[in-house]
Structure 1
Amino acid sequence: MILAASSSPRMKRLLTRFPITAEIVRRFVAGETRSELLGVAAGLLAGGRMVSVDFLGENTTDRAQAEATVAEYRALIRDLAALDRPALPGIMATPVEVSVKLSALGQALPADGPAVATENLRVLSTEAERAGVWVTVDAEDRSTTDATLAAVRELRAEFPWLGAVLQSYLHRTEADCRGFTRAGSRIRLCKGAYREPREVAFQRAGEVTESFLRCLDILMRGEGYPMVASHDPISIAATERMVAEYRRGPSRFEYQMLYGIRNGEQLRLACEGRAVRVYVPYGRQWYGYLTRRLAERPANLTFFLRAVTHNS
Structure 2
Amino acid sequence: MNPLRPVILAAAASPRMKRVITGTPMTAEIVRRFVPGESRAELAPVVRALLGSGRLISVDFLGENTTDRARAEATVAEYLSLINELAAADRPPRPDDAAVPVEVSVKLSALGQALPGDGPAIATDNLRTVCIKAAEAGVWVTVDAEDHTTTDATLAAVRALRPEFPWLGAVLQSYLHRTRDDCAEFAGSGSRIRLCKGAYREPPAVAFQRAVEVSDSYLRCLEILMHGCGYPMVATHDPALVSAAERMAAESGRGTGEFEHQMLYGVREAEQLRLAGAGHPMRVYVPYGDDWYGYLTRRLAERPANLAFFLRALAAGPDQTSGLPSLRRLRKSHR
Using structure 2 for the length normalisation, give the TM-score.
0.91
Q: Is the counterpart of residue 128 in structure 1 residue 123 in structure 2?
A: no
Q: Is the counterpart of residue 197 in structure 1 residue 203 in structure 2?
A: yes
Q: Name the counterpart of 2:178.
A: 172
Q: Is the 8 A contact 1:91 1:275 kept in 2?
A: no
* Equivalent position SS for 2:28: helix
CA distance in 2, matches of 1:262, 1:285: 24
Q: Is the 8 A contact 2:197 2:218 kept in 1?
A: yes
CA distance in 1, matches of 2:311, 2:242: 28
* Equivalent position SS for 2:257: coil
Question: Which string of whole-angstrom CA distances, capped at 9 and with x for unpartnered residues, describes residues 40-81 of structure 1?
Answer: 111100011010000000111111001000000000000000
CA distance in 2, matches of 1:114, 1:13: 30
What are the residue-to-residue correspondences of 1:296-307 with 2, within 5 Å?
296-307=302-313
CA distance in 1, matches of 2:307, 2:134: 36
CA distance in 2, matches of 1:311, 1:275: 41
What are the residue-to-residue correspondences of 1:133-282 with 2, within 5 Å?
133-282=139-288
Q: 1:295 aligns with which of 293, 297, 301?
A: 301
Q: Residue 231 of structure 1 aligns to which amino acid in structure 2?
A: H
Q: 1:17 aligns with which of 23, 30, 53?
A: 23
Aligned length: 312
Greater gyration radius: 2
Q: Residue 52 of structure 2 aligns to which amino acid in structure 1?
A: A
Q: Is the 8 A contact 1:169 1:211 kept in 2?
A: yes
Deviation at 1:37, TM superposition (A): 1.0
Q: Residue 42 of structure 2 aligns to which amino acid in structure 1?
A: E
Structure 1 unaligned spans of 5+: none
Q: Give the stretch that moved more between structures: 229-238 or 295-304.
A: 295-304
Q: 1:74 aligns with which of 66, 73, 80?
A: 80
The percent identity for this pair of structures is 71
Q: 1:45 aligns with which of 38, 51, 54?
A: 51
CA distance in 1, matches of 2:101, 2:64: 25
Q: Residue 44 of structure 2 aligns to which amino acid in structure 1?
A: L
Deviation at 1:88, TM superposition (A): 4.1
CA distance in 1, matches of 2:74, 2:131: 16
Q: Residue 43 of structure 1 aligns to which amino acid in structure 2?
A: A
Question: Which string of whole-angstrom CA distances, capped at 9 and with x for unpartnered residues, describes residues 250-283 of structure 1?
Answer: 2110000000000000001001110000000000
Deviation at 1:14, TM superposition (A): 1.7
* Equivalent position SS for 1:159: coil
* Equivalent position SS for 1:261: coil
Q: Is the 8 A contact 2:26 2:316 kept in 1?
A: no
CA distance in 2, matches of 1:46, 1:23: 25
Q: Residue 271 of structure 1 aligns to which amino acid in structure 2?
A: G
CA RMSD of aligned residues (A): 1.1
* Equivalent position SS for 1:256: strand
Q: Residue 281 of structure 2 aligns to which amino acid in structure 1?
A: A
* Equivalent position SS for 2:172: strand
Q: Name the counterpart of 1:59.
A: 65
Q: Residue 205 of structure 1 aligns to which amino acid in structure 2?
A: A
Q: Name the counterpart of 1:106.
A: 112
Q: Give the stretch that moved more between structures: 262-271 or 18-27.
A: 18-27
CA distance in 2, matches of 1:206, 1:199: 17
Q: Name the counterpart of 2:321.
A: none
Q: Residue 279 of structure 2 aligns to which amino acid in structure 1?
A: G
Q: Is the 8 A contact 2:158 2:168 kept in 1?
A: yes
CA distance in 2, matches of 1:183, 1:285: 36
Structure 2 unaligned spans of 5+: 1-6, 319-335
Deviation at 1:310, TM superposition (A): 3.0
Q: Name the counterpart of 2:9.
A: 3
CA distance in 1, matches of 2:166, 2:23: 45
Q: Is the 8 A contact 1:49 1:278 kept in 2?
A: yes
